[in-house]
Amino acid sequence: MAKAPVAGRSKTRLARDIGVGAATGFARHALRSTLLRLGRDPRWETVLAVAPDAGRHALPAPLRARRIGQGGGDLGVRMQRLAECGPLGPVVIIGSDIPDVRPRHIARAFRELGSRDIVFGPADDGGFWLVGFSRRLRCPKPFSGVRWSHAETLRDTLANLADVRVGFTATLPDVDEGRDLHRAAGSAGRVVPRVAK
């Protein structure tokens, strides 16, 4: 999932800390890097779900990933829609702002879905960077009442899944604010642009 990297419309929390231009540059770089790292793996099909829907046509991308619109609604509604569309079989959904994500993390999530109904990749900030669905079991409203962009986002989601087999993959940081970007840029092995102060 990605917002079209348009100035003033994507990475707005990050833009408050580092400026609109730098945040838009990060969004473009992060999307490109994520597609290059994950999109060529033959173990899965990569589909780029873009918001707003019209952005899927103009979005430059280095790979020929199939592009679809996310549709309307809050983040939970859009993720639920993505989980229910497409061919049968497991589906894993991630954002494009996870500098450390590698194919091994996605492969582990798919392995977890062999024995779990839902899998999460927890984020450092209390949310999650990955959610995967086996699609064997329908959970009517897994994201009902979830406080998004909150320290309790994952906990709120798990509260909706009392009778569901839940698995977890690696905890990774995502980039929502300036401090996240500076932390990622200062760590070896992470692919993010440096931001001038």
- Spans of all domains in the chain: 2-177
Q: Could you identify the residue written with the tokens 């899927």? A: 56
Q: What are 116's two structure tokens?
A: 């779990």
Q: How many helices (H) and strands (E) does the chain have?
A: 7, 7
Q: Are 63 and 36 in contact (CB under 8 A)?
A: yes
What is the CB-side half-sphere exposure of residue 100 using CA atoms within 13 A? 21
Decide: pTM greater than 0.75. Answer: yes
User: Measured in Å, how far apart are the chain's first and last C-alpha atoms?
Assistant: 29
Per-residue pLDDT tens listing for the chain (197 residues):
999 888 888 888 998 999 999 999 999 899 999 999 999 899 999 999 999 998 877 666 556 688 999 999 999 999 999 988 877 889 999 999 999 999 999 999 999 999 999 999 999 999 999 999 997 656 668 999 999 999 999 999 999 998 899 999 999 999 988 888 877 765 544 444 444 33
Q: CA-to-CA distance for 97 and 28, rounded, in angstroms?
A: 10
- Please state, in angstroms and as integers, the Cα–Cα distance from residue 183 to each residue in 73, 117, 131, following that order: 31, 33, 24
Domain at 2-177, CATH from 3.90.550.10, 3.30.930.10, 3.40.50.300, 3.40.50.970: 3.90.550.10
